[in-house]
Structures are given as C-alpha cells and as structure tokens.
Structure 1
Amino acid sequence: MSPIDERIPTEHVEPTDERFTVAPGVGLHLRRWPGQRRPFLLVHGLSSNARLWDGVARILSAAGHPVTAVDLRSHGGSDAPPDGYDTATAAEDLAALGIRGAVVAGQSWGGNVVVSFAARHPELTAALALVDGGWLAPSAEFPSWEACESALRPPEIDGLPASRLREYLRDSHPDWSAEALAATEANLRVWPDGSLSRRLSVARHMSIVRSMWDDPPQPYYPDITVPVLLIPALPGNPTEAAARRSRVEAAAGALRDARIREYPAADHDLHAQHPTELAEDLLGLAAQVLP
C-alpha cells in the first residue's frame, strides 16, 4: 500500500498565513498547515511563490505532517529588501525559521537553495527532495556568463494585461487545476487596472541567476548525509530528456544516499501539475526517516 492510500484528505484543510522576521527589516510570508508528525518545509523556485505548493501541502497535512511553505525575499507576500538575492542568503533565511528535523523540498532554484541549506545546517534537515532542481549549474551549461545572461534574462512584462497571462496559462497548461493556475498568476502583481508587474525585479532575478552561476550546488553534495530524493521532470523530447537524465544521474552518484523518481513528459512545475503524485513521493521519503 502506498503512503498516501489511507490519508487522502476528507476535508479541505486551509493554511494559516503568517509573517516571520529572518533578518533585521526582512519579514517572510509563510503558509502553514497543521500536523503532529515530522515537519515539511517547502521552497519555491525563482520568480515563483509558496502557493504553488498548496495542493501538495494539503495532502501532507492530512497525513499528519505540519507543513510550512515559504515565500523567499521579494517573492509572494514577503518583504523586498535591497539586497540578499542569492542562494546562500536564501538558505540562511530558511535556517532562521528554526524548523528542526524537517523533510525539506525545493523546486527548481529552490532545489539549489535547499542543498545549500542542508549542507550548512545538517541539524535542521532530516531528508531532501529536489524537485526538478538542486543540480542546476548554469556555468556547466553555458560557455560564458554573457551567454547565460542573454539566455536566462526574463522578458519585460510590466504593464501587460493580466487577461493575456491567464489565457496563456490556460492554453499552455490544460491539465492544471484552477488552483494551480491562480497560484501561478500570483507570481506577479495584478493592479486594479488589470495590468501586471513583477514582484521580483529583473535586476534581482538576474542577481539570483548570477549566484547560481557562481555558487552551484555540486560542491555541497559531499556534506549532505541525509536521504535525498531527486525528482526530475523529463522533457517530451527524447534528446533533451536524455541530457537531463544524465545530469540527474551524475548528481545522484555524487550524493551519499540518493534515489531518483522520474516524471516523464512533465512540466517543470511538478508541484502544480501533479500535486497528488508528488505528495505521495514526499510521504514515502518521510517514511524513511520516521518518526
């Protein structure tokens, strides 16, 4: 029997929204679900937000686990201080939350963040889940920083109508729930006139990308002793899927206790596209480190 079979929620569990000060003048927005078992800490990716984890978190909480999903600096409802837009600072912000013995999951850049966090704070980490991230190293994929910067710089979207974004999300993600689509829209601000603007500015976005270039996760792998579940979303293109599988297998081989769970032909935002299946994978990981 899978870990989730007897724990499907019978009612809708609503989170509480809280603020937590992690540094002077820096408050992070948290979404929290109740539970008495081992805690989960869920970390979003670059220019994303905590609400993308709602579907997963609800199931984890129904299985008895307290869950905290965090908005990192200048994401979601968190403060936007003038500095601290790098992987190492994000990892220290997580440590400041003081959640001990957690199963820590990070998606995309959030995977890189939780690798840094686990290496720096082993006393706070019981297990790691790397959701299509945690092995991202732009310096190994681009010939120069200039090439990386050109390829990964996000487009200017401030002032565009929110209706265009909603149409794009519906068309490009037909299998996503309305909840997941609304959570993705929350990556951006929607103003009373219906226009969009970024929560995380392009300059701060690129500061984080630069930190991914300068501070890849691979050097931290030898310091991680807890179980690690690598969860890649493989592209539908076989050549691209093989390249990603190779990177993930290399990461797993460098970690002390790692296994891989692939999602074929899946979206990068696995937590939005497949929340039930991902929650089951995370509960299985938690079962490795119970109680």
Structure 2
Amino acid sequence: MRLHTREWGAGERIALLVHGIMSDSRTWRRVAPALADRGYRVIAVDLRGHGLSARGEYSPRLFADDLVDTLPRQADLALGHSLGGLALSLAVERLRPRRAVYSDPAWSSADPDRRVGPEVFASFKRATRAQTAALNPRWDPEDVDIEMATLAAWDAGSAHFLGGRPLSGFVPDRLVVPSLLQLADPSYLVGPEDAERLRSDGFAIRTVPGAGHTIHRDDFDGFMTSLDGWI
C-alpha cells in the first residue's frame, strides 16, 4: 500500500519520519522543520489506518511493507517512533538508509506482565482534550490540539494486532545499518537486558532524562540534542 506523505524542505539529503500508533505525520510539526533547516528534504508518512492513508488489514509486517512501497531507498536518515520504530526495523534491510534512529520503539514490553490490548488504545480515542493534556503535562498546547486531530483520524482497529498480549518478539537480532536507540526515561518498551544486548550488537543507545514515551513532544530540545552526530 502506498501511504499518504507530507514533506518539508528541499535539501539534498533525505530524512524519513515514521510516527507511532494513534498519531500521524502531523506529530513531527517541530522535528521536520528542524531537520529541513539542517539541509534535509523530509518525508513523513501516515501509516495505514492513520491520518490520510487508507485502512485495511493490520500487522507489523504490513506496516513495514507499506514503508517499502512508499519511501525512497538509501535515504540519509530514517527515524521511527514507537510503532513507527517497529515498522522501520522490519523494513530497514530493504530501505537501507545510511543511518536509522529508533525512538522508544515498540519492540517489547519491559514488563512481561504488561498487556497492551486494543481496548486500551480505544479508550485513548475517546479521551477529551482536558484528559489528553493532563496525561501529557509537558506537551505544548499545539501538540495537544494535534493529538486530538490525529485521534479523530485514526482507525482504532489498527491496534488489534496486539491481541491483548504483552508486546514481545520484535527486538532486532542484528544491526543492519548504523543505528541509534533513543530511549524514554524510563522506557516501558525496551528493557535493560534488551538494551545491553543491542549495545553489544553495535547499537548506539542514548536516554533522554525525564522524557516520556513520546520524547519529541515531552522534551523537544532533549530529543534533538540526543540526535547529535546522527542528523
């Protein structure tokens, strides 16, 4: 499936951005212009079931296949957050960017008893603006507004692949391209043992102190600083 995309900048270098579940390309409203200012042409997707992209069946493999169908090969940078990080990791061998950044990717549950089912995400879709702001006290008001808009455009059925099970089985088994793993503090999706194994496999790992799962909204400056040397 070819996905809807949004672009910023006209630089010679190319950066690819892949958002997390419940969101869409609008989540990059500060990150994309910052990359464009650094000389990138930035391409951000709406994953299937999100934003202006089509609906359909949902699985990690299909999310990844859509990236391959939509995005250029050998980009200078590819960055995926949460579900976007999972999809990117399953597509990276085919896309072959020069560098990959996985921002608190949905690879596993740091707590094996932590179950994340579709009903959890469906409850977020019903959240009011006040509830969303209260859950994310560090977000700018504009990010709260965007979250409400992206939730309205999102198909909650895209979470059904979780099946009410603990998220597991997606931690990469090898390094494909030079890669940075950027973690929230704490990360509930990549536990310490997995992080150490990835470090030993060649992943660079940086934690953004005090940042929640959506690092680029919780602490934009910390998010950008942690990308030093990678963008």
TM range (shorter): 0.7 to 0.9
Would you say the 8 A contact 1:234–1:244 is kept in 2? no
In structure 1, the residue matched to 2:15 is 40
Instruction: Name the amino acid aligned to 2:19.
Output: H
Asked if residue 129 in structure 1 is aligned to residue 101 in structure 2, the reply is yes
Q: Which runs of 5+ in 1 are unaligned?
A: 1-22, 190-197, 287-291
**In the alignment, which of 142, 149, 158 is matched to residue 112 of structure 2?**
142
- Which digits, 9 at most, give the CA deviation of each residue in 1:110-131, with x for residues without a partner? 1111111112333xx1111010
What is the Cα deviation at residue 172 of structure 1? 2.7
CA contact (8 A) 1:56 1:278 kept: no
Q: Please give the residue correspondences for 1:90-129 in structure 2 after superposition, counting only pairs within 5 Å.
A: 90-102=63-75, 103-122=77-96, 125-129=97-101
- Report the equivalent of 1:217: 171
Do 1:180 and 1:272's aligned partners in 2 also have CA atoms closer than 8 Å? yes
Relative to the length of structure 1, the TM-score reads 0.68
In the alignment, what sits opposite 2:49? 74
Corresponding position of 2:136: 173
**2:185 equivalent in structure 1:** 234
Q: 2:61 aligns with which of 78, 83, 88?
A: 88
Q: Which amino acid aligns with 2:211?
A: A
3-state SS of the aligned residue for 2:3?
strand
Q: Which moved more, 1:267-276 or 1:54-63?
A: 267-276
Do the aligned residues in 2 keep the contact of 1:87 with 1:211 (CA within 8 Å)? Answer: no
Deviation at 1:157, TM superposition (A): 4.1
Among residues 152, 165, 186, which one is paired with 2:117 in the alignment? Answer: 152
Structure 1: which amino acid aligns with 2:181?
Answer: L
Shift of 1:214: 7.5
Change (3 A) 1:128 1:210: farther
Q: Which residue of 2 aligns with 1:284?
A: 229
Larger radius of gyration: 1
In the TM superposition, residue 56 of structure 1 has moved relative to its aligned partner by 0.7
1:45 CA displacement: 1.2
Contact 2:9 2:33 in 1 (8 A): no
Structure 2 alignment gaps of length 5 or more: none
SS at match of 1:229: strand
**Secondary structure at 1:113 match in 2:** helix
* 1:212 to 1:118, Cα distance in 2 relative to 1, 3 A: farther
**1:53 is the counterpart of 2:28:** yes
Q: How many residues align?
A: 228
Q: Deviations over 1:58-113 (max 9, x none)?
A: 101111111111110011121112x2x11112112111224232211111121111
Identity of aligned residues (%): 26
Q: CA RMSD in A?
A: 2.9
CA deviation map 1:168-209 (0-9, x unaligned): 1222323211221122112321xxxxxxxx72234x312256
**Post-superposition offset of 1:264:** 1.9
Match of 2:216 among 271, 279, 288: 271
Distance 2:165 2:51 in 1: 20
Label 1:280 to 1:67 Cα distance change in 2 as closer, same or farther (>3 A): farther
8 Å CA contact 1:232, 1:248 repeated in 2: no
